A and B are shown apart, each in its own frame.
Chain A
Amino acid sequence: MGETRTVFAGLSHGEIIAWYGLIVVSTAVFLWGAARLVVKYRAGRRDPISQLWRRAGHMFAVVFSHKWISRRDRLTGIGHRLVFYGFLVLFAGTTILGLQTDLTKPIFHWEFWEGGFYLGYKLALDIAGLLLICGLALLAFNRWRRRPARLDYSRPDRPEGGEAGADRRLYRVGDVVFVSTLAFLAVTGFLLEGFYLADADPRFAAWSPVGWVLMKWFRAMGLTGKSAGLAHHVLWWVHGLAALSFVSSIPYTKAVHMLVGPANVAVRDDTAGKRLVPLAADAASEDVGYAAITDLTWRHLLSLDACTKCGKCTDSCPAAKAGYPLSPRDLVLDLRERAEALLGAHAALGLSGAAAGTAAASRAAGGNGAAAANGAAGVSGADPGRRVVLGEPIRPESIWSCTQCMACVEICPVGIEHVPIINQFRRRLVEQGEMDPLLQSTLETIYEAGNSLGEPKRKRGRWTDELTFTVKDARKEEVDLLWFVGDYASFDPRNQRVTRALATILERAGVDFGILYAAEQTAGCDVRRAGEEGLFSSLAEANVAEISKCRFQRILSSDPHSYHTLKNEYPAFGGDWQVLHHSELLLELLSSRALEPARRLGYRVTYHDPCMLGRYNGVYDAPRKVLETIGVELVEMPRNRDNSLCCGAGGGRIWMKEKRAEGSRRTSEQRIDEATSLGPIDYFVVCCPKDVTMYSDAIKTSGHEGALELRELSELVWESLALDA
């Protein structure tokens, strides 16, 4: 027999039986908790799932590469990788040993845990243990020394400030317990090894380098032979009990993310937020959107448990930054607490009834009327009234604060879908008529006029009046390029200048293009994101019908909101076309030399990525290449590309009153601050009509007027061509 060690060395027969008994108990506790999770998710709405193999492959790619966890936070990325791989190897090691002890040896009389395999195993596990300890140290250093703001559990969404009545103490205790349990397991594992080696002193002890060092140390202290054996014996039980307790606690504690995190990455919707779920035409009022915790789909219920409270969502949220009462993390935690209290293991054990009811009532006392009624009805755990979360803890003002910019979804390391969840709550609020009166009248205007500005349909093509040429009517003649102009670009005077610049460029480049004139209606991107799904679908149907009557090759959109919806959301309504953003078309025309810049502009500019173009559609390079081609020096703002900061107008926010905390600064103003911090900048370049409006205002209100000016991409291209107005 080669190198190995005796399993259960020094344990009596009775002890080994007791040990197996404990394994059964801890496994049962684990399985019951895991089963409760499944029961909880099954309480949610049905939502069929397909492509399981592709999903599994994607999940392994994301989890093993750690690419989502590492984003914008290298320290955590490294720390978590060390913990993850360290833990995984140790877990695999335990499984391999268990395989021999309980399967191959008793049944097949095959023992492979010896010789070279054993030595390699010992070395691998020693290294894994070290990595685990290093990773834990890094993460602990980050959380308790470096203390990034995102790990603070204060609630930016509550006017009361601080943690605002939400009990976050358990979370803080949980953080300490989780990290220290893992560290304790790793350290006691090494000590066990040291004691074993000090007792047995095998010649191959150096294959366990950490154990070997400890052995030397113990021996120097005089701990050998029997005394080392005794220490080993005692510590074996301590380590074993800690390990079993940890395993059994996984479904109930922060450790649950080890199961649900990867599960959520697998089952989540790849197009979450980008293509919102349509509403059935015959949906009853009470089926619209989310109000109760059981209205959430099982996927959304599952995603809540995946949250590790890392705070990257709230840290990236423009609403939170501008003093609006929204924190995506706390939205998820509020939902999770209610789901657990009513549907989870806590509910099954009767732990949540009175406590959660009182907490809800006390929080509701400070809220609005509907919330108070909800809280009062929620004293009893079984009361269906407590299932209603819209009102309290999910406050309408929080739901309306969201700009649907996708920053939170995009950065979430476990793939939680905050934006579609918020959108579902909005749908119910719209259904109940609980919205900003300005939003309500805008939606009514869009229904009646087909545009958000209440302009007569026949005026939509008026911007062409000042051009020196006629723009084709795509309804009447075939065109190569059908230009879907959009509301702001058609009607808003500042944006009309941009629209005319682009039209002049297209004319110069010899592009055969036309517009829909009076037949074009709002694309509905923001109507949908504001939660008026019925109006969105009727706008989509009307536009698809009109566009389908025209003969054309491709669609051009100069508005990222229309661009997104035409490209990604109209296919579900039968409109499947090739859609281009004007930055993509301009690049195409410049690359093919259809457009030749007459001169290099030589300006120093910065560029702002619109949410709907960047995060939603991944178009980051086209506008940058256009700027490069026309001879402009681009200086990037710290937050660029997928980390771009929303202007604050998205998700229908442009149709609602600002309800920010006193002393806060609009994100558009913060963005101009960011641009001016880059040194002298000539132009703040945008390529979205809403950005034109938002940042023209922000340059004035931020106190930077005169420091820089706003230019739309088309305007700079127009200037580089040295065209006349």
Chain B
Amino acid sequence: MRVLSCIKQVAVLGEEVEIDPGGRDVDPDYLERSLNEWDACALEEALRIVEAVGDRAENEVVAVTAGDEESEEALRRCLAMGADRAKRVELDPGSSGPSDPLTVAKALARAIEGESADLVLCGVQSSDSVQAATGTMLAELLGLARTAVVTKVSLDPAAGKAMAHRELEGGLIDVVEVDLPALLTIQTGINEPRYATLRAIKQANLKEIEVLAGPSESAGAFRVRRMFVPDKGASAELLGSDPAEVAKRVSEIITARLS
């Protein structure tokens, strides 16, 4: 069995944010980078599925990303967690701001085609651009059945089927049977991703990451025109930091609204 796990190295915002001079993205100086939380869960699920099948020599997990060289750090983390191989499709965010989901999906598809994967797992969304579209687009490009927002998976490899629980509004659970190969987008909370020790990360640094050329057409499905911090709304009132004054003001507001 072969499970492909698509991951993204996301940008994490600190307390302070500055927009870069181009006005299309956050100034990289104000960002930390990390493995997307949803993708960490998807990788963990991929590892658990393969570990449950048994013989690790014949079953593998392959981590795939589309991004620049810096994003290999997230792939290293996946290798440290236990992925057998890692592939990166060259994708430079360039000057036009973050890549759109379709461009990313096309890039990922290049790495997954020819792997004859039994299962492809993606995170539901990335924490930085929050489009929740890449996984679905990738399924379409690969011609795979797609099940989104999965909170539980059980596999029946002999029957070539997977049972997936999908999270719906209002706490409803949708139980779906899907034929393999399939693509699932994984929701957080499905598991607790394992810790990758620095020993394992350092050893992963010695492993080779297969790098593929990115898609030739550079024009994405959309471009970011402008990124900005919205002005404070007129209806908001900041109450300061002195507890006594805040309490007094809250009391005044409540009294005024109630009367």
Q: A interface vs B, CB < 8 Å?
A: 279, 281-283, 285, 288, 430-431, 433, 435, 437, 440, 443-444, 447-449, 455-456, 458-459, 532-538
Contact = CB atoms under 8 A, between A and B. Distances in A.
Contact of A431 (B33, B192, B199, B202): B199
Contacts of B16: 456
A535 B32 contact: no
A610 B98 CA distance: 49
Contact of A534 (B12, B32, B34, B198): B198
17 contacts: A281-B202, A288-B199, A430-B197, A433-B194, A433-B195, A440-B195, A443-B195, A447-B201, A448-B32, A448-B33, A456-B14, A456-B15, A532-B197, A532-B198, A534-B202, A536-B198, A537-B198
B29 interface: yes
B129 interface: no
A534 B192 contact: no
Interface in B168-210: 192, 194-195, 197-203
Please classify the interface of chain A as helix (H, G, I), strand (E, B), loop, or mixed, using the class held by over half of its residues: helix
Contact of B197 (A281, A449, A535): A535
B34 A430 contact: no
Contacts, number: 51
B231 to A, nearest CB: 24
B147 to A, nearest CB: 28
A342 B15 CA distance: 56
Contacts of A433: 194-195
Contacts of A288: 197, 199
Contacts of B201: 447, 534
A535 B198 contact: yes
B195 A444 contact: yes
A279 B199 contact: yes
Nearest to B192: A437
A283 B200 CA distance: 9
Nearest to B29: A458
A285 B202 contact: no
Contacts of A534: 197-202
B199 A435 contact: no
Interface in B4-19: 12, 14-16
A79 to B, nearest CB: 48
Which residue, of B12, B30, B198, B201, has the highest number of chain A Cβ atoms within 10 A?
B198
Q: For chain B, which range describes its interface: under 10, 10 to 19, 20 to 34, or 35 or more residues?
A: 10 to 19
Nearest to A280: B199
A693 B78 CA distance: 36
Contacts of B203: 281-282
A533 B198 CA distance: 8
B32 A449 contact: yes
A544 to B, nearest CB: 16
Contacts of B12: 448
Contact of A435 (B15, B29, B195): B195
A290 B30 CA distance: 41
Given A449-B32, A456-B16, A456-B32, A431 B197 contact: yes
Contacts of A448: 12, 32-34
Given A443-B195, A449-B32, 19 more contacts: A281-B199, A281-B202, A288-B197, A430-B195, A431-B197, A433-B195, A435-B195, A447-B198, A448-B12, A455-B14, A532-B198, A534-B198, A534-B199, A534-B200, A535-B197, A535-B198, A537-B198, A538-B198, A538-B202
A686 B79 CA distance: 44
Nearest to B198: A534
A332 to B, nearest CB: 27
Nearest to A440: B195
Interface string B25-37: 0000110111000
A288 B197 CA distance: 11
A143 to B, nearest CB: 46
Nearest to B40: A444
A532 B16 CA distance: 30
Nearest to A443: B195
Nearest to B197: A534
A289 to B, nearest CB: 10
Given A448-B32, A456-B30, A458-B29, A283 B199 contact: yes
Contacts of B192: 437
Contacts of A435: 195
A539 to B, nearest CB: 9
A354 B197 CA distance: 38
Nearest to A287: B199
A237 to B, nearest CB: 63
A351 B122 CA distance: 56
Contacts of B15: 456
Contacts of B34: 448
A129 B193 CA distance: 67
A283 B203 CA distance: 9
A459 B197 CA distance: 26
A444 B12 CA distance: 13
Contacts of B194: 433
A449 B34 CA distance: 10
A693 to B, nearest CB: 21
Contacts of A458: 29
Contacts of A535: 197-198
Contacts of A430: 195, 197
A449 B31 CA distance: 10
